[in-house]
A = this chain, B = another copy of it.
C-alpha cells in the first residue's frame, strides 16, 4: 500500500484534511462514513473523495453505508507514514523554534525532533521540552552520526541560506524553512517554505475579495 508515483499533488494535499475530518467523526463515535459526507464536510466533490480514497486505501466502501471510519483512518495514517518514525534537527531556538520544539504533537505524525542548534550562548547547553540545544558547530557531527535527513530552519531570514547550506553539507535531504526567503539549493533537496506571514496575507486577501 505504501507506494506513490502516480499520486497528484492536489490529492496529496487533501489527504491530511480527510484524516482530520475523520478524527473529528471518530470522536463522535461515527462508525461509518460516506464519500458524500466527507465531501460536504470539506467542501469537495464526492467523486473526488472516492478517487482519492481508492488511491491510498484498499478498503471497499459498501453501498448504503460507506466506509468504516476506523479502517479508513488506519490506511490514511499508514499511507502518510504517521506510523514510521523519522528524526529531524532544528536550527534556531528562538521564539518560533522553541514553540516547535515544545509541540509534542509531532510525535503522532511519526516525527521526532532530536536536537536543536543555535548560536546564542545563553541557550546552548540548555534543554527545551527535553531536547538539547547544541552549538552550531555540532550540527554536522550529530546529523552524520544519527543519519538525520530532515532539517527545520527557524533562524532570521538573513542567516537562512547559510544554515541551509550547512545542513545540506552535513547530509540533510529535506528542509522545512520558516524564514520568508527563497533558498537556493540543489534540486535534489526537498524544500518546503512555510511563509506564515504570506500565508496569512493570502487569507486576508481572500477575505477582501468576497465583498
Contacts and interface: CB of A to CB of B under 8 A. Distances in A.
A170 interface: no
Given A81-B205, A103-B95, A182-B24, A109 B197 contact: yes
A207 B190 contact: yes
A130 interface: no
Nearest to A201: B109
A99 B196 CA distance: 12
A84 to B, nearest CB: 8
B203 A190 contact: yes
Interface string A74-115: 000000111010101000000110111011011011110000
Given A198-B16, A204-B111, A180 B149 contact: no
Contacts of A110: 201, 204
The quantity of this chain's copies bound in the complex is 2
Nearest to A3: B209
Nearest to A175: B203
Given A106-B200, A202-B12, A182 B81 contact: no
A197 B24 contact: no
Which interface class (under 10, 10 to 19, 20 to 34, 35 or more) fits A? 35 or more
A105 B20 contact: no
Interface in A168-191: 173-174, 176, 180-182, 184, 187-188, 190
A64 interface: no
Given A109-B201, A192-B203, A194-B199, 12 more contacts: A4-B209, A20-B180, A81-B208, A96-B99, A106-B197, A108-B197, A149-B204, A150-B200, A150-B204, A173-B207, A174-B203, A174-B207
Interface of A: 3-5, 12-13, 16-17, 19-21, 23-24, 41-43, 80-82, 84, 86, 88, 95-96, 98-100, 102-103, 105-106, 108-111, 149-150, 152, 173-174, 176, 180-182, 184, 187-188, 190, 192-210
